[in-house]
């Protein structure tokens, strides 16, 4: 065994001594025993688990549940909670006690991580408030603002694979309940690192003297969300299907439906209740192929008009509509299609009584459809384009609505400054019911919007990798030798947002503006081992736009195949 391998073994033994979780302790003890006897696979496993720390990044922490500094576990969560507590105490005004709200979903260890956090926050002298039971992420985001808390933590991995979990951090006060951004993320990470360097989470002070919020916080969220779009005329006969994707959305959403006056849906019973194994889907993300198959099957059988899905923590919304040209007669709307419908709704609401208040804006991430800008211009609203992620979108000045193409929508910024799949579902149901009242459908609404602003189409090419270094290699190759064209469309302008400067948001993003007005954007995913390419086209007709996207798609796939 080399000196490096021996040092890694000592590091693993030190981790084992402070691990309070019998499951991960037993797991790690077995690996240490095998590594100590020279087992090459065990030695490599330790290297993977301890060569680095799980990065405190885009959404706090997120990763696979297992022992080690590069995994999600009780040691890492204790370090994160203690570091975050130190940050909040450092930033608190003299004589004040910071308050932090903690929520959790139905994934494995979510409640354990939340309880550990509450005890550590309380042990640090903070006012810790644990939500009363497993709840959607938007309820936690709501609670931060509703309670006037200084911060919030949501234990969730959203739509990640079953054996993942995460630690999502929000700030109150001037941040208005949004997710953390720089410099707070780096400052919190530095505090966490100092706790980790002490090497003993068992010595972190804890207290069971923390508050557990009452059901009134859920009642308040239900009331606020039902008010987003009370059921209009034409709602009573609406036939629709809902799936919670094995997550925590149904209990809260069903109450809101009743309060808002919408008819109850048929539910996909196999996916309605929380299940940390996500047993009916290979990947619990409504964007993934096959994830909505059970919902579409039920819709076909029962003659539904609409399918609505939330992801497991209910911060995303997916929508399906009948489409005779699609396989099985149903298709999922893209995130851009839903976002543009909801943006159109927000623009009309903002100008219903006359010109909108100065500064009222629509916002979306830079990889989302440029058609939202067209809607903003059509209705005299400001428009803001941000980096990907709702920590940026939610901070757009004067925001009335924001979205990103990855099924995230912010429709109620005065109460939730984050994506919220439940309030977005209520807003979408309102649109569907209003259309139904005049014998129109969601598909008809998309056609009406195209007549107002023109025909836009979007596409996405996504490649998942086992080795994330492949993504860096592809990005480097594209920077070193930029493509001159995609298919028959020449590249007019190349923008590297790592070095763009000016008003452009900075990030690891390559944006190609094509001579025909189309746009191609390439970026690594911030939460998954994926490279994503976004395609956007405006054309004279919907058919021409779809044809142009298909051509770009084929060209991009050919290019990526060569580079990878």
Residue 141 main-chain phi, psi, to 5 deg: -60, -40
State how far the Cα of 221 lies from the Cα of 410, in Å rounded to an integer. 15
Tokens of 190: 């530095």
Q: Can you tell me the mean pLDDT for 368-388?
A: 96
Sheet with 306-310, side-by-side order of all strands: 266-267, 240-243, 306-310, 317-322, 330-332
Residue 187 has pLDDT above 90, yes or no: yes
State how far the Cα of 260 lies from the Cα of 240, in Å rounded to an integer. 16
State how far the Cα of 299 lies from the Cα of 283, in Å rounded to an integer. 21
Q: Can you tell me the mean pLDDT for 122-147?
A: 98
Average pLDDT, the chain: 94
Q: Can you tell me the mean pLDDT for 554-560?
A: 92
pLDDT digits (tens, 9 = 90+) for 496-539: 988 866 565 668 899 999 998 899 999 998 767 889 999 999 99
Place of tokens 């780096």: 186
- Using only the alpha carbons of the chain, give its radius of gyration: 24
Tokens of 129: 């408030």
Q: Can you tell me the mean pLDDT for 409-426?
A: 97
pTM for the predicted model, two decimal places: 0.94
pLDDT digits (tens, 9 = 90+) for 73-111: 999 999 999 999 999 999 999 999 999 999 999 999 999
Residue 318 main-chain phi, psi, to 5 deg: -120, 145
Q: What percentage of residues in the chain have a pLDDT greater than 90?
A: 88
pLDDT digits (tens, 9 = 90+) for 461-476: 988 888 888 899 999 9
Res 564: pLDDT: 79
Q: Determine how many CB atoms are found less than 10 A away from the CB of residue 38.
A: 10
Q: What percentage of residues in the chain have a pLDDT greater than 70?
A: 98
Question: Which residue in 349, 358, 564 sits closest to 466, CA to CA?
Answer: 564
Instruction: Say if residues 178 and 152 touch (Cβ distance below 8 Å).
Output: no
**What domains can be seen in the chain, in order of their start residue?**
81-212 (3.40.120.10), 215-453 (3.40.120.10), 455-563 (3.30.310.50)
Q: Determine how many CB atoms are found less than 10 A away from the CB of residue 434.
A: 18
Write out the catalytic residue numbers: 158
Instruction: Say if residues 51 and 70 touch (Cβ distance below 8 Å).
Output: yes
β-bridge mates for residue 178, sequence order: 171
């Amino acid at each position: 065994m080399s000196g490096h391998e021996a040092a890694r073994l000592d590091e693993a033994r030190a981790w084992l001594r402070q691990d309070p979780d019998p499951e991960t302790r037993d797991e790690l003890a077995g690996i240490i025993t095998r590594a100590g006897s020279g087992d090459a696979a065990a030695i490599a496993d330790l290297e993977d688990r301890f060569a680095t720390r799980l990065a405190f990044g885009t959404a706090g922490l997120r990763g696979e549940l297992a022992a080690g500094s590069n995994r999600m576990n009780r040691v890492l969560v204790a370090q994160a909670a203690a570091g975050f507590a130190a940050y909040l105490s450092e930033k608190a005004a003299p004589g004040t006690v910071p308050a932090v709200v903690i929520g959790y979903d139905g994934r494995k260890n979510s409640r354990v991580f939340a309880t550990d956090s509450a005890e550590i926050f309380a042990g640090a002298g903070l006012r810790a408030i644990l939500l009363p039971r497993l709840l959607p992420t938007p309820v936690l985001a709501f609670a931060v603002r509703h309670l006037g808390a200084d911060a919030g933590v949501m234990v969730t991995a959203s739509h990640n694979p079953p054996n993942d979990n995460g630690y999502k951090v929000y700030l109150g006060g001037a941040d208005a309940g949004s997710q953390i951004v720089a410099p707070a993320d780096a400052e919190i990470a530095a505090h966490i690192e100092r706790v980790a360097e002490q090497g003993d989470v068992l010595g972190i002070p804890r207290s069971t003297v923390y508050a557990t919020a009452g059901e009134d916080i859920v009642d308040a969220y239900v009331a606020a969300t039902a008010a987003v779009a009370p059921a209009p005329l034409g709602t009573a006969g609406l036939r629709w299907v809902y799936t919670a994707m094995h997550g925590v959305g149904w209990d809260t959403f069903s109450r809101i439906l009743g309060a808002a006056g919408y008819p109850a849906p048929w539910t996909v019973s196999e996916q309605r209740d929380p299940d940390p194994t996500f047993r009916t889907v290979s990947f619990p993300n409504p964007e993934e192929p096959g994830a909505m198959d059970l919902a579409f099957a039920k819709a076909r059988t029962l003659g539904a008009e609409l399918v609505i899905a939330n992801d497991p923590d209910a911060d995303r919304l997916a929508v399906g509509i009948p489409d005779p040209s699609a396989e099985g007669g149903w298709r999922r709307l893209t995130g851009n299609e839903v976002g543009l419908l909801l943006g159109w709704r927000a623009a009309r609401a903002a100008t219903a009584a006359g010109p909108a208040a100065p500064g009222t804006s629509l916002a979306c991430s830079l990889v989302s459809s440029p058609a939202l800008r067209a809607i903003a211009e059509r209705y005299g609203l400001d428009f803001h384009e941000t980096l990907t992620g709702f920590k940026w979108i939610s901070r757009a000045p004067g925001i009335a609505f924001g979205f990103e193409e990855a099924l995230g929508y912010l429709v109620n910024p005065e109460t939730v400054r984050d994506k919220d799949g439940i309030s977005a579902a209520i807003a979408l149901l309102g649109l569907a019911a209003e259309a139904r009242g005049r014998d129109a459908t969601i598909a008809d609404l998309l056609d009406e919007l195209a007549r107002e602003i023109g025909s836009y189409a979007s596409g996405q090419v996504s490649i998942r990798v086992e080795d994330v270094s492949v993504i860096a290699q592809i990005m480097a190759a594209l920077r070193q030798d930029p493509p001159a064209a995609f298919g028959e469309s020449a590249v007019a302008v190349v923008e590297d947002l790592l070095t763009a400067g000016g008003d452009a948001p900075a990030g690891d993003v390559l944006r190609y503006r094509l001579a025909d007005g189309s746009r191609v954007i390439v970026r690594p995913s911030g939460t998954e081992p994926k490279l994503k390419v976004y395609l956007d086209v405006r054309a004279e007709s919907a058919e021409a736009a779809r044809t142009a996207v298909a051509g770009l798609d084929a060209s991009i796939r050919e290019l990526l195949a060569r580079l990878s």
